Chain A
Amino acid sequence: MVRQGNSITITGQPPAVESVTDVTGSVRLASVSKVFGRGGSAVRALDQISLDVPPGEFTCLIGASGCGKSTLLNLAAGLEEPTSGEVSVSGHVALMFQEPALFPWLTAAGNVELALRAQGLGRAERRQRTTGLLDAVRLGGFGGKRPHELSGGMRQRVALARALAQDADVLLMDEPFGALDAMTRDLLHDELDRVCAGRQLTIIFVTHNVREAVRLGDRVVVLSSRPGRVIDEFAVPIEHPRRIDSAPVAELARRITDRLREEMSHGDR
């Protein structure tokens, strides 16, 4: 839906805020609501959400299940349209899922290369960039392996390489490390830091792990459940490199968890 550099705007029924001229890599949600179904069985997944992510920022979205985190990413990715409000994303968007979603009939290198091919790159350039991308996620020797021959962590690294191959300005990540064990997840956090360091990438990272959010994000946005609303925001003024088990991370995570608990005690959960 998006080609590099172009800006898309998806507008729901009541045209809301006027489109702003955005800088490449910015994501903007203006009082976005999303309702699934209609009539009595309608479910309001997102309610009047406004979120502004400037280019290059790493934003973590956190909330209990049912807060519409995935819906929000689908809206930003253009896979769904808002019921009302406005979503504007400038630049090309890549999306990473909780599952690696690699194509089992292709090797690791083949998966990365297909993303480059979809952009119309020539064969020689594809080869070269695939090698570079696999090296970037430290899978240099594993290009010839098929997804099932790799471990969960390695598969998710291939998925990251594939997402990077799309040369996106905005990377949306839907609990990408949620299915991994703590040790592997910890390593992939380092990996993600390292890979992002050299790139001007805007990242929206959805997770239900508060420490992970603090470990990675420049900002943590807390969502409420059913319907999803932004209830709080925390800047993360902790210097890099960070460790998930360090005192400042734990301290901020505790504050955010308290805020989440407070919110959940209002609800029915």
Chain B
Amino acid sequence: MATANDRTSLPAYEEKLAWLEAQEVAQPGEQRSRRLAVKAWNALWPKLLAIAIVLAVWELIHLSGWKKLIFPAPGPTLANLWDQLQTGQLWHAVATTGERAVIGFALAVVIGGFIGALVSRIAPLRAGVGSLITGLQTLPSIAWFPFAIILFGLSTTTILFVIVLGAAPSIANGLIAGVDYTPPLLLRAGKMMGLRRLSLYRHLILPASLPAFVAGLKQGWAFAWRSLVAGELLVVIANQPSLGVLLSTYQDQADMESATSIIIVILILGIIVDMLFGVADRTIRRRWGLTGAV
């Protein structure tokens, strides 16, 4: 075999390579769309079943006659919700609350992201405020309202302030965790490649932190949404019908069907946004090959 001093002319090379490639590359399934439909159904039926069980239990409680005068029945409540969906008032409230959620959460992302980026890279800062951030995360953000109301009065600023304090610590912690768990091997590879300081951050550490950061966003959203609804119940601003204001108004009128409808709306909105983060999380995992299913 040692014929010429030529490393390129290896006889069986092409065949070997072709054989290998055939072994290596996974064949994409032809029944992909059918598999997708099955997958969608598998994801859907437990949810439908769960909803049916909740409605059934609700109906049973109603039928048992417990607090009959004020406990709403599922049928009329859902009808009430349907009616409310036809009115401008509910949509107006959803818009007001939604706007606060978006602004508050965006502020929390910017502030939490900034703090997380600083704390993760500067050791003394981490030693100083690292545990404080975790502490803030566990502090119920509703505890900030008395303080915020004195500072900003009964205003949207107060609500936004509390949303940021509720959500930013989780978001900062998510980023810090992501930076901490950047695989050392990738860091070595990046450094050998010539990535330094800012470029190392931009091309390696930040993308590597993305899954943990999204997990932080998801948790931050849950805190933001809670703070927002609590804030709207506490901080009633005139001429701004929000979901919280509607809820407390119906409570004052002892209109339990309408109040329950609003609770359902708040629940559904929270779930929808949480699902969006879930989709983002799964997309990242799939693209990175962190899940078994492709």
Which residues of A are in contact with B by a Cβ distance under 8 Å?
77, 79, 93-95, 97, 99, 101, 103-106, 114-115, 117-119, 138, 146-151, 153-154, 162, 166, 183-184, 186-187, 190, 193-194, 196-197, 238-243, 246, 248
Residue in B3, B5, B203 whose CB lies within 8 Å of A114:
B203
Closest to A184 in B: B20
**Shortest CB–CB separation between residue A164 and chain B, in angstroms?**
12
Contact B2–A190 (Cβ < 8 Å): no
A248 touches B2 (CB 8 A): yes
Whole-angstrom distance between the alpha carbons of A101 and B184 in the complex? 10
- Asked whether B67 is an interface residue with its Cβ less than 8 Å from the other chain, the reply is no
Most-contacted residue by chain A among B186, B194, B288 (CB, 10 A): B194
Question: Provided the pairs A77-B192, A138-B17, A154-B24 are in contact, do residues A148 and B288 lie with their beta carbons within 8 angstroms?
Answer: yes
Q: CB < 8 Å: which of B16, B25, B208, B210 contacts A187?
A: B16
In angstroms, Cα B21 to Cα A154, docked, is 9
- The answer to whether B245 has its CB under 8 Å from any CB of chain A is no
Contact B189 A97 (CB under 8 A): yes
Q: Which residues of B contact A97 (CB under 8 A)?
A: 185, 188-189
A241 & B185 in contact (Cβ 8 Å cutoff): no
Q: Would you call B45 an interface residue if the criterion is a C-beta within 8 Å of the partner chain's C-beta atoms? A: no
List, in ascending order, chain A residues with CB within 8 A of B193's CB.
Answer: 114-115, 118, 162, 166
Given contacts A97-B189, A114-B203, A187-B13, 7 further A-B contacts (CB under 8 A): A103-B204, A103-B208, A146-B287, A148-B289, A149-B289, A166-B193, A241-B7
The answer to whether A187 touches B204 (Cβ under 8 A) is: no
Jot down 26 A-B pairs with beta carbons below 8 A, ordered by A. A95-B189, A95-B192, A97-B185, A97-B189, A104-B287, A105-B288, A106-B207, A118-B199, A147-B289, A148-B289, A149-B289, A150-B24, A151-B24, A151-B25, A153-B20, A166-B193, A187-B16, A190-B16, A193-B10, A194-B8, A239-B2, A239-B3, A240-B5, A241-B6, A242-B2, A248-B2
Separation in Å of the B207 CB from the closest CB of chain A?
Answer: 5
Whole-angstrom distance between the alpha carbons of A56 and B190 in the complex?
A: 25
| Known A94-B192, A99-B185, A105-B288: A183·B20 in contact at CB below 8 Å | yes
Taking the closest CB of chain B, its distance from the CB of A103, in whole angstroms, is 6
- CB-based contact B1/A105 at 8 Å: no
Categorize the interface residue count of chain B. 35 or more
Closest to A115 in B: B193
Contacts of A93 in B (CB 8 A): 192
B192 CB contacts on chain A under 8 angstroms: 77, 79, 93-95, 166
Say yes or no: is B191 at the interface (Cβ < 8 Å to chain A). yes
A79, A103, A117, A186 — most chain B CB neighbours (10 Å): A103
B binding-site residues for A, Cβ under 8 Å: 1-10, 13, 16-17, 20, 23-26, 185-186, 188-195, 199, 203-204, 207-208, 210, 284, 287-290, 294
Q: Which residues of B contact A243 (CB under 8 A)?
A: 1
Give 9 closest A-B pairs by Cβ, nearest first. Answer: A148-B289, A151-B24, A118-B194, A193-B7, A104-B288, A239-B2, A101-B189, A197-B7, A105-B207
A118 touches B287 (CB 8 A): no
State the CA gap A162–B186 with chains docked (Å): 13
- In angstroms, Cα B190 to Cα A238, docked, is 36
Q: Which residue of A lies closest to B14 (CB)?
A: A138
- List the A residue with the shortest CB-CB distance to B16: A187
Q: In the bound complex, what is the Cα–Cα distance between A187 and B24 (angstroms)?
A: 13
**Alpha-carbon distance between A238 and B5 when the two chains are bound, in angstroms:** 10
List the A side residues contacting B7 at CB < 8 Å: 193-194, 196-197, 240-241
Q: How far is the CA of A151 from the CA of B13 in the complex (A)?
A: 18
Choose one: B8, B9, B188; the contact of A95 (CB below 8 Å).
B188
* Residues of A close to B23: CB separation below 8 A: 151
CA distance A115 to B294 in the complex (A): 28
* A104 surroundings in chain B (CB, below 8 A): 287-290
Contact between B20 and A105 (Cβ–Cβ < 8 Å)? no
Knowing A147-B289, A148-B289, A242-B2, the reply to whether A79 touches B194 (Cβ < 8 A) is no
Q: Tell whether, in the assembled complex, residue A246 and residue B1 are in contact, meaning their CB atoms are under 8 Å apart.
A: yes
Q: Which of A101, A153, A184 contacts B188 (CB 8 A)?
A: A101
